[in-house]
Every structure is written in structure tokens, then in C-alpha cells.
Structure 1
């Protein structure tokens, strides 16, 4: 992507949801052997990249970055260089499923607890009848199970691998096994399977339009307050950061 803007040294493409889906659709259609890693970038990952060189390498080598966190969108806006829109992991997954239903893509779901994993798979199968959920596994596995899961994904060869382990755990796992997964596209989607399964409520549309989804989540999940503390720190550091050309 040539049209990019940097946030704390990380180039983020100026693309819309429609652009993103077009890129992913092309990758699935071309069926290349190389895995295409999509990262939905948020302030936590961006901050961690400043001191975690391995994570920074993962982000640099990703096939596509999207601006997930509202903090990233707001910083660009305050700098007078706005992004066209926010492309969140949850919204992107829904759009991917809609596109997959039209084109008969296959998926593997990895993450969430066992009841949520089962429910998410059932909801997807019912809501998108042309989508094939080839396999799934909950996100609480040990090293032995991890190896078995990777072997299963490799054998099933899904068009899309959805990893709901939270960031940056999802990004690390995808990167670690990128040469073994045998999928077309892999994406970390945070808690999106919880939302699809109905375990966690998504903020109403009017909250989303006001960019207040973070507050809705905090009200409904007070335990998230520690994570939210990073937002003001991120905003200050990002605004003061001297980007190199």
C-alpha cells in the first residue's frame, strides 16, 4: 500500500473497510502458498512495538495493517492527517463472513472458551450457510495441544484462519507458524468470537458512531479499566513522536 501514514514509526495504510475486503478477497482467490497476515492495529500493540523488537518484526512483515483502535484514529485526526475510517477486527470479521458467504470460503476458528467456541461456530454456520467452518478449537491449550492444533489447521487448509487469543498473543502465534498453517489468510480478532456468540454485547450503533465504544465496553466490563489506562499515555506519546520520513 503506497498511501500510508505513520503512527510511532509504523506505516498504516489509508484504506477503508471496502478496500480491506477487496485485498483479502484477492488473496483468497489467488490461493498463494504464502500466508497473508492481517493485523488490526490498536494502541496496545503500537506501544509494545516501541520496546518489543520481535513484535515490531511481526507488524513490519504483516501483509496488511488496519487501524482498529479509536486512539489511533483520533491521533491521526489531531495531527491533521485523518484516516478514511476505522477498520476494527470485529467489523472486519463480519464483513469477511458476508463476503465468504457469497464466495463459499472456508474458516478455522481458534480461541475463546469452549462453550463460546461452539456457540460462535453454530451462529456462523446458521447465519452464513455457504461458509464452511472446517474446524475449531478453544483458546486454552498447552504446548502439546498447540502442536496438534497447528497440524489440524495445516491438514484442513482453510481459506481464513480466525485467531481470537487477544493481542499480541494471536499475532505471535500466527507469525510463529506462518510457514505451517497452510491457510490463505490469518487474522487476530480479539474478543470477536465472544460477540458473535452473544457472550459479550457490542456497543449500540450510536455509541460506535460517537467513537465511544471503549466507554460502553468499560461500563459493561469494569475489569478492563487497567487496559484503558494505556489510552492517554498512547495519545501523548503518539502526538509527540517525531516521525521519520
Structure 2
């Protein structure tokens, strides 16, 4: 079930529905691709037809951003719950630990993914991590061989967006993996290199405000939200 904003699909599944769907996809050996959608990415796709097509190729476009919830309300839609990229990663790791599925971490700077792996195992002691590979390995054949030898059920790719999504679409048919998710800077957060917003900000959907307070230069990105909402409103007419 999906809603469309300025030509970009967004899934209206909750975390619980997504978790059930993903485990089913693994068990049925269906390849699925998860991409996080926010207003900035949708606006970028207005200028880049290739990016728009790329985003719409995903199996699940998760609503990562309070702006998507507001836009859904404007359109009379049913998206009620933010599904952030890092929380989706954590939810999938939890499910993997419960259902004996394995994960692979690919991307980020050397040692960051290893530290992210250690943190995930602290959170989910039964989690099977099939492998880890940093994003500075250049040999694509080596990358694919390493992942295929590990045979993970879930592959998290942290190469930055949209590079990670392009990489997934280009290689998913060559990889012995069921679930693919582009996770941006999530390994940096898990490793402790980057501090996430306090729980109160997360709960209220105000992580963007926390980041803005910490990094005022982000104002240029944050002012895109009103632009996005105005465009969505106008597209209704």
C-alpha cells in the first residue's frame, strides 16, 4: 500500500507490518529493497528523473521525516507513523535475532562498520553478523564475492544517498541476499562517531530541530520542508 507525493511512492506500513513483511520476504526468498524517503529527497527527485525512477523501484519506501506525515494528512492519506532509516535497521536486527536470520554491514569508513557491529551485538546478543566490509574497498568483484560467500539474509549498505541506492539496484540481482536497505550514516551513529538526538526529540519527530541546533548550517536544508509542503498542497488542485 503506497501513497504518492510529487511522483514519488511512499509506503504506509507501520513498523510491525514492515517487520512481518520482511521476515516473510526472507522465508519466501523474495528480494526486497528498502529506501528512506524524506521531503528533501522528493524535491531532489523533481529535478532528477533518474533519482525518481530509482526511488520508485524500491519495494518499501519508508516515511523517514515528519514532513511526509504532514503531507499525507494534507492529501487525506493514512501515513501516521515515521519509520526512520536507523530505527528500521534496528527493527530488522531485532527480527533477525529472533528468527535466526543473518545480516551484513557494508559501507562507511574503515573500522566504523566493525564498531557498529559490536554495538548491534550488545543490543541483540543472538544476532548473527555474517560479515562486515568498509566502503573504501574499490574492487566491485571482491565486494560481491565477499557478500555472496557470507550469504546474509539482510544487507545494510552505508554509502550515502543516492549512491547507496544506485549500488543496490545495480547489484541486487547478482547478490545472494534477500533484503537490501540503504542506511546512510547509521553506522556512524551506532559506532558512536555521531551523536543521535535525545529520545525526547526522537519521540516528537524533532530530530531535525536537534540537528539544526547542533549544526546551524543545516538551515539551508531545513527550509526545504515548507517548499515541499506547498508543492504537495498545490499538486492537489
TM over 0.5: yes
- Counting only pairs closer than 5 Å after superposition, residues 229-240 of structure 1 correspond to structure 2 as 229-240=223-234
CA distance in 2, matches of 1:56, 1:157: 30
Matched, 1:103 2:109: no
Q: Which runs of 5+ in 2 are unaligned?
A: none
State the 1:220 CA deviation.
Answer: 2.6
Other-structure match for 2:6 = 8
Residue 42 (structure 1) shift: 1.5
Kindly report structure 1 stretches of 4+ aligned residues shifted beyond 4 Å.
none
User: Which aligned pairs between 1:39-118 and structure 2 lie closer than 5 A?
Assistant: 39-118=35-114
Please provide the CA RMSD for this pair. Answer: 2.0
What are the superposed Cα offsets for residues 175-204 of structure 1, whole Å, 9 maximum, x if unpaired? Answer: 011211210100011211112112222222
Q: Would you say the 8 A contact 2:65–2:205 is kept in 1?
A: no
Cα deviation 1:200-221 (Å, max 9, x = unaligned): 2222222123221101122234
Q: How big is each residue's C-alpha offset from its partner over 1:156-186, in whole Å with a ceiling of 9 and x where there is no partner?
A: 2210000112221111110011211210100
The 1:100–1:8 alpha-carbon spacing in structure 2 relative to 1, beyond 3 Å, is same
Matched length:
237
Structure 1 contact 15–84 (Cα < 8 Å) conserved: no
CA distance in 1, matches of 2:27, 2:58: 19
Q: How has the CA–CA distance of structure 1 residues 154 and 223 changed in structure 2, closer, same or farther, with 3 Å as cutoff? A: farther
Give the TM-score normalised by structure 2.
0.91
1:163 matched to 2:157? The reply is yes
| 1:239 Cα offset (Å) | 2.4
Measured after TM superposition, the shift of residue 230 of structure 1 is 2.9
Offset at residue 136 of structure 1 (A): 1.3
List gaps (5 residues or longer) in structure 1: none
Q: Secondary structure at the match of 1:84?
A: coil
Distance 1:139 1:228, change over 3 A: farther
Equivalent residue number for residue 136 of structure 2: 140
Structure 1 residues 149 and 46: CA distance shift in structure 2, 3 A = same
Distance 1:40 1:22 in 2: 18
State whether structure 2 residue 221 is matched by structure 1 residue 227. yes
Q: Deviations over 1:68-119 (max 9, x none)?
A: 1222122222344341211111111111111111112111101221132121
SS in 2 for 1:166: coil
Contact 1:163 1:189 (8 Å CA) reproduced: yes
